[in-house]
Homo-oligomer: A and B are copies of this chain.
């Protein structure tokens, strides 16, 4: 009880140390297969000590999940300040390949998604994060499309936001399936979808093709 609410600087540092170690273990082994002993070893402390700072292994998993979802939301928020999202994704792949620990880990994101279908608490956290992401993306889309002289109603914004979210999440899976993806190819792929999504008129002739099989 006091464990999770301790707020001394020391406690905060220890909690951070544990979370960093846990994240490394979770990335390497998965939530379930990572043992408290391995986390303790990675954190350079005894297993028992972890319980002074976290109630249970599950609490650590949840903290990691919340941190990852928060980081992901931050990334989306930062898109608003920099409209060149294609370059953002290319950069993301580069940092991931270099093993940058601060990057949101795609394997973890996938596992979180899988767990969200089983653990209601995780599911709620993910749903909440997702709604926030959708709102942020929608607001950004409204601004950028208006700036480009495109008038979209709410439904149009939601549809394009959804498409963008699918694209983003799909890139996480891509990072897992092919971490050495050629940056130029990725850039080309993004160039093939993003422009229309951000600017073209959905009422143009092309857009009706799928509706006329």
Binding site for B on A (CB under 8 A): 27-30, 32-33, 82-87, 106-108, 110-111, 113-118, 126-127, 130, 155-156, 158-160, 162-163, 165-174, 176-178, 181, 185-186, 188-200, 202, 206-211, 213
Q: How far is the CB of A116 from chain B (nearest CB, A)?
A: 6
- Interface residue from B28, B130, B202 paired with A118 (Cβ < 8 Å): B28
- Interface residue from B33, B162, B186 paired with A189 (Cβ < 8 Å): B162
Taking a contact as CB atoms under 8 Å apart, the answer to whether A170 and B159 are in contact is no
Chain B residues within an 8 Å CB radius of A27:
117
Using A110-B113, A198-B209 as known contacts, list a sample of 6 further A-B pairs with CB atoms less than 8 Å apart, ordered by residue number in A.
A114-B114, A116-B176, A130-B178, A162-B186, A162-B189, A192-B197
In the bound complex, how far is the Cα of B58 from the Cα of A76, in angstroms?
37
A202 touching B208 in the complex, CB below 8 Å, given contacts A84-B213, A173-B170: no
Chain B residues within an 8 Å CB radius of A83:
213
Q: How far is the CB of A153 from chain B (nearest CB, A)?
A: 11
Residue of B nearest to A204 (CB): B195
Q: How far is the CB of A131 from chain B (nearest CB, A)?
A: 9
Taking a contact as CB atoms under 8 Å apart, the answer to whether A193 and B118 are in contact is no
